[in-house]
Amino acid sequence: MVHIKRLELSNFKSFGGTTQIPLLPEFTVVSGPNGSGKSNILDALLFGLGLASSKGMRAERLPDLVNHTQATRGRTVEASVTVTFDLEGLEEGDRGLGNEEQETEVKQEHPILEELSVTRKLRVTQQGTYTSTYYINGEACTLTELHEQLSRLRIYPEGYNVVLQGDVTGIISMNSRERREIIDELAGVAAFDRKITQAKET
Ligand code: ATP
Ligand code: MG
């Protein structure tokens, strides 16, 4: 099974500067006082996986994710998160880069990967405009490419791999239709539904 080996955060929420967080293969506990940034680590993980909704990361707007101390200095600031996955437990055929069609070609070009890293950078200018950029193993890519690469590893930023405070209570109080949507998401059906909607729009 794939596991997250390491998170690297720069200027993300309460983490000014750069912090590396190692995650052990079986069980990792993060403890600390209230407000010390434990949940911000999970927000960083979702950010790095390309989650679009700032609300999902407990922020009103995406620029709020940049460390406030850095942001008040009145210049362009950049928050960045890198998520590194350990691929060693995966079948070799699943460890290449690229999409299904390119697979044979890519396998010849790239050695079998031991780890995969995805990076998202959020640049916020003095005027408050912002852009996100994405990278797979340090090479720039689009958000769609990032999502495609992650979905080959069966990792989805909205996929309930991360259970946040309040999620369980939220699921209990949902109606049956809403609960069905979760099952669709977990079973991977929702991703196809989104592609169908997208294709109809374009
Ligand atoms: P609890 O035990 O209460 O769940 P926690 O350790 O999970 O606490 P977090 O929610 O991760 O705490 O962190 C909240 C802190 O992060 C708050 O003090 C808040 O001020 C700080 N914070 C959030 N966004 C930013 C930001 N952009 N810049 C600096 N600090 C921030
Ligand atoms: Mg918390």
Q: CA–CA separation, 135 vs 125, rounded Å?
A: 20
Q: Is 11 in the pocket of ligand 1 (CB under 6 A)?
A: no
What is the value of pTM for the model shown? 0.83
Ligand 1 midpoint to CA 14 (Å): 6
pLDDT at 156: 82
CATH number of 3-158: 3.40.50.300
Which of 135, 134, 92, 136 has its CA nearest to residue 114?
Answer: 92
Q: Is 35 annotated as a binding residue?
A: yes
Point out the ligand nearest to the CA of residue 65. Answer: 1
How many of the other CB atoms lie within 10 Å of CB of 52? 14
pLDDT at 153: 85
Residue 85: both structure tokens together: 């996955």
Asked whether this complex has an ipTM greater than 0.95, the answer is: yes
Phi, psi values for residue 182, rounded to 5°: -65, -40
In this prediction, residue 109 has a pLDDT band, given cuts at 50, 70 and 90, of low
pLDDT at 73: 67
Q: Which of 9, 10, 12, 14 to probe ligand 1 with, by most ligand atoms within 8 A of CB? A: 14
Q: Is the pLDDT of residue 103 over 70?
A: no
Do residues 16 and 85 make contact, with C-beta atoms less than 8 angstroms apart? no
Indicate the pairing of strand 115-124 with strand 77-86.
antiparallel
Indicate the pairing of strand 15-22 with strand 3-12.
antiparallel
Q: Is 39 annotated as a binding residue?
A: yes
Q: Is the pLDDT of residue 110 over 80?
A: no
Three-state SS for 175? coil
Which residue puts its alpha carbon closest to atom 25 of ligand 1?
13
Q: Is 11 annotated as a binding residue?
A: no
In whole angstroms, how far apart are CA 102 and each of 49, 94, 142? 22, 13, 17
What does the domain layout of the chain look like in residue ranges?
A: 3-158, 166-202
Q: Which of 10, 13, 30, 69 to probe ligand 1 with, by most ligand atoms within 8 A of CB? A: 13
